[in-house]
């Protein structure tokens, strides 16, 4: 590898992820969020010569971290296209899927992306720079109802209506361009803990820019289709919106969380839940990597 993975993104719950994947030496596995390659490296260490790993990441920056290994196929694309790219490589079934959902430490720390409220760069927040919608576009173009939906649904902002009104008022005077433009608006309306409030607003915008929840839904549905019976699906989420989708889908095979019945009235089950309560970081890991604090790891096995 060209870089130490820790310089890009510290792999969260690494030991727990690898143990729960139950890796077969000759199996086919997918890491849908390659990042710094920390999880992929560990998977490869457990694979034999006949095993293979397909790794996805839409961020072009990760190409600097790609492990040189003939067993690794890297796909520079959003994981919502899982089935498409597996088919392209002649793969119809896999033995396990690992997903570390959310923004990486590298993306948060790289100022030019505009993910962090401490940067002074353009309000971008695109995980895949080639896409069209930016955070500035949302702030400048969305109508008040759309803005309210973004802030209240994706950021769970308690005073979302007040924030929306402030954004609309501010943009009538000057268009949003850089991060300090937004921070100035937040300073005037924020309630509660300053840093938590800003983090929630930036999360809301980032989710909307990248259609993160839509992509997660696509991944879960396609993952169910490509997993072999007995295959493991290991997903780490970092906020309640993601975790709720994962929990419901693993429980019932749909996003409502309500069990569906077949023609004969039998409940349809697609997965065996391995950990009824989500796995969370130990105190030791939290000390080493404070950003792991909100992670929840859920594991299922396909029936």
pLDDT of residue 119: 87
Note whether 5-105+212-302 and 110-210 share their fold: no
pLDDT of residue 118: 85
Task: Locate 109 and state its tokens.
Answer: 């720390």
pLDDT digits (tens), the chain, 303 positions = 344 444 455 799 999 999 999 999 999 999 999 999 999 999 999 999 999 999 999 998 899 899 999 999 999 999 999 999 999 999 999 999 999 997 755 555 554 667 888 889 999 999 988 788 999 999 999 999 999 999 999 999 999 999 999 999 999 999 999 999 999 999 999 999 999 999 999 999 999 999 999 999 999 999 999 999 999 999 999 999 999 999 999 999 999 999 988 888 899 999 999 999 999 999 999 999 887 888 999 999 999
CA pair distance 39, 31, nearest whole angstrom: 8
CA pair distance 271, 227, nearest whole angstrom: 11
Half-sphere exposure of 128 (CA within 13 A, CB side): 18
The CA R_g of the chain, rounded to the nearest whole Å, is 20
Taking the CA atoms of residue 118, residue 123, residue 125 and residue 128 in that order, the dihedral angle to the nearest 10 degrees is -130
pLDDT of residue 292: 82
pLDDT of residue 115: 82
CA pair distance 39, 17, nearest whole angstrom: 8
Task: Locate 165 and state its tokens.
Answer: 């009104």
User: Which residues, 6 or more positions from 190, have their beta carbon under 8 angstroms from its beta carbon?
Assistant: 197, 198
The 8-class DSSP code of residue 122 comes to B
273, 250 Cβ separation under 8 angstroms: yes
52, 29 Cβ separation under 8 angstroms: yes
E strand or H helix at 230, and its extent?
Answer: strand 227-237
pLDDT of residue 300: 98
> Which residue in 257, 262, 254, 246 sits closest to 295, CA to CA?
246
Place of tokens 């780490």: 236
pLDDT of residue 116: 87
- Phi/psi for 231 (5° steps) reads -75, 150
Task: Locate 256 and state its tokens.
Answer: 């409502």
Task: Tell me the domain boundaries of the chain.
Answer: 5-105+212-302, 110-210
72-75: strand order across its sheet: 72-75, 52-56, 28-31, 94-100, 227-237, 296-302, 271-273
**Fold adopted by 110-210:** DNA polymerase; domain 1 (1.10.150)
pLDDT of residue 130: 79
pTM confidence score = 0.91
CA pair distance 177, 111, nearest whole angstrom: 14
Bridge partners (DSSP) listed for residue 300: 233, 273
CA pair distance 40, 30, nearest whole angstrom: 9
Q: What number does CATH give the domain 5-105+212-302?
A: 3.40.50.150
Strands (E) in 43-181, as ranges, are: 52-56, 72-75, 94-100
């Amino acid at each position: 590898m060209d870089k130490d993975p820790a310089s890009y993104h510290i792999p969260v719950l690494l030991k727990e992820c690898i143990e729960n994947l139950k890796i077969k030496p000759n199996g086919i596995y997918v890491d849908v969020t390659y990042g710094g390659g920390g999880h992929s490296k560990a998977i490869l260490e457990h694979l034999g010569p006949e095993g293979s790993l397909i790794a996805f990441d839409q961020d072009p920056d990760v190409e600097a971290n790609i492990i040189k290994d003939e067993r690794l196929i890297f796909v520079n694309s959003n994981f919502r296209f899982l089935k498409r790219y597996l088919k392209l490589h002649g793969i119809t079934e896999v033995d396990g899927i690992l997903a570390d959902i959310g923004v990486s430490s590298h993306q948060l720390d790289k100022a030019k992306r505009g993910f962090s409220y401490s940067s002074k760069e353009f309000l971008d927040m695109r995980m895949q720079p080639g896409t069209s919608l930016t955070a500035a576009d949302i702030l400048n173009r969305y109508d008040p109802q759309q803005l309210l939906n973004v802030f209240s649904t994706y950021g769970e902002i308690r005073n979302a209506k007040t924030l929306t009104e402030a954004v609309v008022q501010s943009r009538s005077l000057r268009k949003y361009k850089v991060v300090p433009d937004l921070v100035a608006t937040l300073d005037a309306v924020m309630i509660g803990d300053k840093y938590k409030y800003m983090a929630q607003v930036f999360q809301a915008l980032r989710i909307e820019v990248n259609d993160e929840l839509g992509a997660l839904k696509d991944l879960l549905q396609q993952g169910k289709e490509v997993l072999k019976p007995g295959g493991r699906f290991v997903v780490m989420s970092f906020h309640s919106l993601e975790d709720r989708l994962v929990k419901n889908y693993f429980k019932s095979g749909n996003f409502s969380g309500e069990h569906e019945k077949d023609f004969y009235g039998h409940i349809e089950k697609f997965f065996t839940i391995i950990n009824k309560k989500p796995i969370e970081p130990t105190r030791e890991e939290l000390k080493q990597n404070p950003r792991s604090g909100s992670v929840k790891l859920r594991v299922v096995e396909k029936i």
